[in-house]
């Protein structure tokens, strides 16, 4: 019989999170991100690398390896892996990255799994 | 095209085997002084040298993105040297993107080159979604 432990994560950021009120460029380089979520419920949360800036000019994600393994879990309104946002952004560059996503027996709703990168006017 | 597919397989193995052996180093930098406010009409998206492997099995994916997603307000879109592999089995994918999704509002030119996209879907339901490479 398979023993399972249910873990509930809500409104949390796990991993690296940076939020800058008046930041400029966002660079995520030479980074290894592993996210393993098993028998877990994740809601309104970020697992991995989460970066937000205001008045950012560019978002670069380079030379990274991101793996996300999600098994028998529920992910809702959350981001798993790398999530970078820059307000007033000008340029996005995603270069030399490897991104592996493995999802089984899970429910994913309104979530970003892998690399999510967004600039806003 | 064949070459890129092989590269993807190799990278998948490298990513899977080395990721637990290599220690994680997160470097996130930003200048101390605030950046100048950029023009509202600018912006560009560049995706280069990326390998994505996505496997979804017996799962439900709704209103989500799996893989790489980039959105920019305005500018050009450039995608090169990208290999995308997506396998979906016994799952439901609805209003979602699996693989690479790039969106540039008020965009200029779209340039896609040297790209390999492979998708395998079996016993699944896919509605209102993009699987593989989507440029909007």
Contact across the interface for B59 and A103, Cβ inside 8 Å: yes
The mean per-residue pLDDT over the stretch A26-34 comes to: 84
What's residue A70's pLDDT?
94
The mean per-residue pLDDT over the stretch A93-103 comes to: 91
Q: How many CB pairs under 8 A join A and B?
A: 215
Contact across the interface for B64 and A98, Cβ inside 8 Å: no
Chain A residue with CA closest to B49: the answer is: A96
Between CA B134 and CA B93 the distance in angstroms is 15
Between CA B43 and CA A91 the distance in angstroms is 5
The mean per-residue pLDDT over the stretch B40-58 comes to: 82
Q: What are the start-end ranges of the H helices in B1-136?
A: 2-18
User: Please, what is the average pLDDT of chain B?
Assistant: 71
Between CA A62 and CA B49 the distance in angstroms is 10
Between CA A96 and CA B18 the distance in angstroms is 16
The yes-or-no verdict on residue B6 having pLDDT over 50 is no
Q: Taking the CB of residue A21, how many other CB atoms lie within 10 A of it?
A: 9
**Tokens 């200048």 found at:** B31
User: Please, what is the average pLDDT of chain A?
Assistant: 81
**Cα-flanking dihedrals φ and ψ of residue B77, to 5°?**
-120, 125
Q: What pTM was computed for the model?
A: 0.75
- The predicted complex's ipTM stands at 0.82
The mean per-residue pLDDT over the stretch B47-64 comes to: 93
**Tokens 């009409």 found at:** B41
């Amino acid at each position: 019989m398979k023993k399972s432990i249910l873990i509930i994560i809500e409104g949390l950021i796990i991993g690296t999170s940076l939020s800058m009120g008046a930041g400029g460029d966002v660079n995520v380089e030479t980074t290894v991100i592993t996210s393993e979520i098993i028998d877990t419920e994740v809601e309104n949360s970020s697992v991995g690398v989460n970066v937000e800036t205001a008045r950012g000019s560019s978002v670069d994600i380079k030379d990274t390896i991101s793996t996300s393994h999600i098994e028998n879990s529920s992910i809702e309104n959350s981001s798993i892996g790398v999530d970078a946002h820059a307000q007033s952004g000008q340029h996005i560059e995603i270069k030399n990255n490897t991104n592996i996503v493995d999802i089984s027996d899970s429910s994913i709703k309104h979530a970003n799994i892998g690399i999510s990168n967004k600039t806003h006017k | 095209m064949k070459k890129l597919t092989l590269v993807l397989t190799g990278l998948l193995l490298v990513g899977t085997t080395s990721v637990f052996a290599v220690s994680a180093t997160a470097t996130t930098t930003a200048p101390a002084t605030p950046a100048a406010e950029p023009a509202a009409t600018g912006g560009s998206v560049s995706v280069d040298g990326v390998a994505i492997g996505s496997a979804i099995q017996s799962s439900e994916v709704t209103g989500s993105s799996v893989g790489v997603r980039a959105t920019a307000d305005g500018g050009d879109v450039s995608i090169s040297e990208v290999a995308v592999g997506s396998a979906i089995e016994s799952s439901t994918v609805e209003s979602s993107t699996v693989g690479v999704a790039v969106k540039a509002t008020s965009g200029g030119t779209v340039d896609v080159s040297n790209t390999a996209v492979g998708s395998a879907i079996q016993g699944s339901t896919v509605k209102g979604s993009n699987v593989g490479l989507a440029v909007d």
